[in-house]
Amino acid sequence: MLGSSREALNSLRGYVSQQSGQSDFASTPSQLLSAASLLSSDKALRVAMSDNGQSVDSRVALVRELFGSQLTGTAVDILAQAASQRWSSSDDIVDAVEDIAAFVVFALADKAGELDRVEKEIFAFSRAVDANSELQMALTNPALPGTAKSAVVKDVLGGRSAQGTLTLLEHAAANLRGRRVDVALRRLSVSAAEARSRIVADVRAVTELTSDQSQRLAAVLGRLAGREVSLNLIVDPSIIGGISVRLNDDVIDGSIRTRLEQARRALVG
């Protein structure tokens, strides 16, 4: 998102945080995701909701007219607040509504003491997708309807996940909108970490790290990033030894595989 959309999203998050005491707050994630699916499929609607050439009052009135009888009060209020913001593009309002739905899921999970569980389940699902080519193909097959992709997710999770995990993963699978599935899943992992004012570090190592190693690595990365870090450990024997770390857009690669490749390139010129 560009500057104005980032500001709009931050403002929207602040507004949503103030609604957490509403009686229907727990039902808002699924409702917001339904609205996001509609906005994604209806370009005229998302343009109308984000058209800075129209008055805020008219955009808010449009939201209340369309969604007022379909969704609960808090969900409608959140969508109206989204329509009142200034967005850089109409596509950004779809991303923002999805982001806010995830924001609410993580807030509810945190209150229930399940945020760690949800974060780990999202990461575990992303690893399952990486490791299973058939699963990847099913989730990215353009001929497969969204409902079928949601069913695939539900089958993989097997009724063992938290409800928030299921809600987010089903929607992500059915609404990739041209994104790679790993990109959509990482976005959820990043949002989960942000719910605790952390950032995500993807760590590739040849074997599992011990608890002590993980804590020391998280501490070092936290000093580099200036904030707490959540580690997503990926066991990858192909790196031979050492570790490779992705922290935001930075890659710290100390793997033997990379050093061997660098040596090979130096030899062949």
The DSSP line for 39-108 is HHH-HHHHHHHH-TTS-HHHHHHHHHHHHTTTS-HHHHHHHHHHHTS--SSHHHHHHHHHHHHHHHHHHH
pLDDT band of 125, cuts 50, 70, 90:
very high
Determine the average pLDDT of the residues in 160-169.
Answer: 96
Q: Are residues 3 and 100 in the same domain?
A: yes
Residue 195's closest CA among 70, 104, 97? 104
Question: Last residue of a domain, which of 67, 88, 111?
Answer: 111
Distance of CA 70 to the CA centre of its chain: 25
Percent of the chain surpassing pLDDT 90: 65
Q: What is the structure's pLDDT at 224?
A: 83
Domain edge (last residue) among 181, 196, 211:
196
- pTM, rounded to two decimals: 0.81
Q: Domain limits at 162? A: 113-196
**Residue 256 pLDDT:** 76
The pLDDT value given to residue 227: 84
* Range 226-232 average pLDDT: 85
Shared domain for 117 and 91, answered yes or no, is no
**pLDDT at position 261 over 80:** no
Mean pLDDT over 152-165 rounds to 94
| Residues whose CB falls within 8 Å of the CB of residue 47, separated by 6 or more in sequence, listed in order | 90
Are residue 241 and residue 173 in the same domain, yes or no? no
Closest CA to 28 of 83, 60, 67, 62: 67
List for the chain the helix, strand, coil content (%; round to 5). Answer: 65, 10, 25
Of 38-47, 126-135, 175-184, 186-195, the range with the lowest mean pLDDT is 186-195
Alpha carbons 119 and 168: distance in angstroms, whole number: 11
Using a pLDDT cut of 70, give the percent of the chain over it: 98
- Cα end-to-end span (Å), the chain: 40
Same domain, 65 and 102: yes
